[in-house]
């Protein structure tokens, strides 16, 4: 089990939940009923007798307080809350178990002659667990829960608690990474960078496991025809299966998007992300060192719309943010057509033009007004062609601003080395 999978336990009723339920339904014979105990976590109930070792077993009150605090009163494997019991209505029931990683006796779970005694009261050697998880690690699946496995689980849970409690729960957001696995080295987006970028704007990850949308099942580079025949549909299918239902059910209340992929596909992803839903789109910054954290300071991008000549039913929209796009590159992609060429650009197109969150929201406003103006000037039945040279985040945002009921379908082009702009996909 990896450190990232413990959240999954919370999604289905655990065996403990069922046991608790059964015990409440089934009358317990009086002779087998346990004596009432004060609220305190029982110490390693499988291996140690609380009556012999006292209320705190071999751990001691000091270590126990530290362990409870670091775990925020939750099981460090399944994350269930350990105070209160819904079925009986008790708000103060204590369901916590203090469990040793290296057992406190050398013949206990993971115990050994060298360490058992020395680490018995060490908070770093003790986990807070629920009954079910404690049984699993000490008895039912003891072999799978070696010392390093448990240490990773404990560290991951404590790190997550530390990050989470400083922020409101509503700040939680799911990480969505969209990458092309063919060019894995260039496009890898480390989770640590995602988390740092989210924290900088007051968000905290809802899970350590990002939602990963990966291109490249065709095994082709993105200049291959097969790639473009398969990947766009694949992206749509994956999104519908893995993400859409969870957005609709409220499981994903907020999504933080980190994308690094060919521009037409980024626009397609933007189209799939609902415009009304809470989404934050991040961009990769190259300087001074690679990072996804929005830059501080004044907004200098200054996005603007340059309208094309009125009349005609064929509109090209140039997205000149990272680079200027000359008109002849557009007209050579659609020769002999009466094009009206519009342009969304910024004060000085370059690779790091998009730097701040303010840049992003201003860009969004310009894209919205561009779509509306094209419709006003050219009418309903216009053909729209898009030529992007823009950061990934701008491409996603561009697709997001497009509304199926309001706007005309768009043909998206992409720059291919030695071939100029090539039509890649349709947004409709």
Q: Which residues bind Zn ion (CB under 5 A)?
A: 44, 75, 77-78, 100, 104, 130, 133
Question: Which residue, 71 or 77, is less far from Zn ion as judged by CB?
Answer: 77
Closer to Zn ion by CB, 132 or 232: give it: 132
Q: Which residue, 128 or 390, is less far from Zn ion as judged by CB?
A: 128
List, as one string, the DSSP characters of 225-274.
HHHHHHHHHHHHHHHIIIIIHHHHTTS--EEEEEEES-HHHHHHHHHHS-
User: For residues 375 and 381, what is the distance between their CA atoms, to the nearest angstrom?
Assistant: 9
Q: How far apart are CA 243 and CA 255, in angstroms?
A: 10
CB of 363 to Zn ion, least distance (A): 45
Task: Look at residue 189 and give its three-state secondary structure.
Answer: coil
According to DSSP, residue 73 is labeled T
What does the CA dihedral 116, 118, 123, 128 come to, rounded to 10 degrees?
20
Please say which residue, 132 or 399, places its beta carbon nearer to Zn ion. Answer: 132
Closest CA to 269 of 227, 305, 240, 226: 240
Q: 133 or 325, CB closer to Zn ion? A: 133
SS3 56: coil
Among residues 44 and 72, whose Cβ is nearest to Zn ion? 44
Quote the least distance from Cβ 419 to Zn ion, whole Å: 57
Q: How far is the CB of 85 from Zn ion (least distance, A)?
A: 14
Closer Cβ to Zn ion, 104 or 187, answer by number: 104
Closest to Zn ion by CB, 130 vs 261, is 130
Nearer to Zn ion, 100 or 203 (CB): 100
Other C-beta atoms lying within 10 Å of the C-beta of residue 1:
15
Separation between Cα atoms, residue 338 and residue 326, nearest integer Å: 17
Distance CA 44, CA 59 (A): 10
Residue 76 Cβ vs Zn ion, minimum distance, rounded to whole Å: 8
CB of 111 to Zn ion, least distance (A): 8
Residues 6+ positions from 36 with CB-CB distance below 8 Å:
none
CB of 290 to Zn ion, least distance (A): 38
User: Other C-beta atoms within 10 Å of 357: how many?
Assistant: 18
| Three-state DSSP class for residue 386 | strand
Q: Name the residue nearer to Zn ion (CB basis): 44 or 392.
A: 44
The structure tokens listed for 390 are 């823009």
CA-to-CA distance for 203 and 221, rounded, in angstroms? 35
With beta carbons less than 8 A apart as the criterion, state whether 414 and 386 touch: no
- At closest approach, how far in Å is the CB of 48 from Zn ion? 6
Q: How far is the CB of 166 from Zn ion (least distance, A)?
A: 24
Helix, strand, or coil (residue 133)? helix
**In the complex, least distance from residue 122 CB atom to Zn ion, rounded to whole angstroms:** 11
**Are 370 and 344 a contacting pair, CB within 8 Å?**
yes
**What span, in angstroms and rounded, lies between the C-alpha atoms of 164 and 265?**
33
DSSP string across 274-309: -SSSEEEEE--B-SSS-B-SPPPS------EEE---
Of 77 and 263, CB closest to Zn ion: 77
| Shortest Å distance, C-beta 30 to Zn ion | 29
Q: Closest by alpha carbon to 71, among 53, 96, 34?
A: 96
Q: CB of 17: closest distance to Zn ion in angstroms?
A: 10
């Amino acid at each position: 089990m990896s450190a990232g999978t413990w959240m999954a336990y919370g999604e289905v009723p655990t065996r403990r939940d069922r046991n608790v339920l059964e015990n409440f339904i089934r009358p317990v014979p009086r002779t087998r009923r346990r004596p009432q105990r004060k609220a305190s976590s029982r110490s390693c109930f499988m291996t140690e007798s609380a009556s012999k070792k006292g209320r705190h077993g071999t751990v001691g009150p000091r270590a126990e307080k530290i362990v409870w605090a670091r775990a925020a009163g939750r099981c460090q494997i399944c994350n269930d809350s350990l105070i209160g019991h819904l079925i009986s209505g008790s708000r103060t029931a204590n369901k916590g178990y203090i469990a040793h990683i290296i057992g406190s006796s050398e013949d206990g779970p993971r115990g050994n002659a060298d360490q058992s005694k020395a680490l018995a009261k060490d908070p770093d050697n003790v986990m807070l667990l629920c009954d079910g998880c404690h049984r699993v690690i000490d008895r039912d699946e003891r072999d799978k829960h070696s010392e390093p496995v448990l240490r990773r689980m404990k560290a991951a849970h404590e790190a997550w608690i530390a990050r989470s409690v400083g922020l409101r729960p509503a700040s939680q957001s799911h990480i969505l990474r969209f990458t092309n696995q063919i060019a894995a080295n260039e496009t890898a987006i480390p989770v640590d960078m995602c988390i740092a970028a989210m924290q900088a704007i007051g968000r905290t990850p809802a899970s350590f496991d990002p939602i990963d949308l990966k291109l490249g099942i065709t095994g082709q580079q993105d200049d291959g025809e097969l790639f473009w025949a398969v990947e766009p549909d694949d992206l749509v299918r994956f999104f519908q299966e893995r993400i859409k239902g969870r957005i609709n059910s409220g499981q994903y209340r907020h999504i933080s998007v980190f994308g690094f992929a060919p521009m037409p596909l980024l626009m397609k992803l933007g189209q799939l992300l609902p415009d009304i839903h809470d989404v934050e789109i991040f961009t990769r910054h190259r300087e001074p060192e690679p990072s996804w954290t929005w830059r501080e300071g004044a907004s200098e991008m200054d996005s603007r719309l340059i309208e094309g000549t009125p009349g005609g039913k064929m509109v090209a929209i140039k997205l000149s943010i990272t680079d200027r796009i000359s008109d002849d590159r557009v007209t050579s992609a659609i020769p002999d057509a009466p094009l009206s060429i519009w342009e969304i650009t910024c004060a000085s197109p370059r690779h790091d033009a998009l730097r701040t969150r303010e840049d992003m929201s201003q860009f969004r406003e310009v894209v919205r007004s561009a779509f509306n103006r094209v419709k006003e000037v050219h009418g309903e039945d216009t053909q729209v062609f898009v030529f992007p040279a823009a950061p990934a985040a701008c491409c996603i945002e561009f697709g997001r601003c497009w509304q199926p009921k309001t706007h005309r379908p768009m043909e998206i082009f992409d720059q291919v080395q030695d071939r100029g702009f090539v039509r890649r996909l349709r947004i409709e």
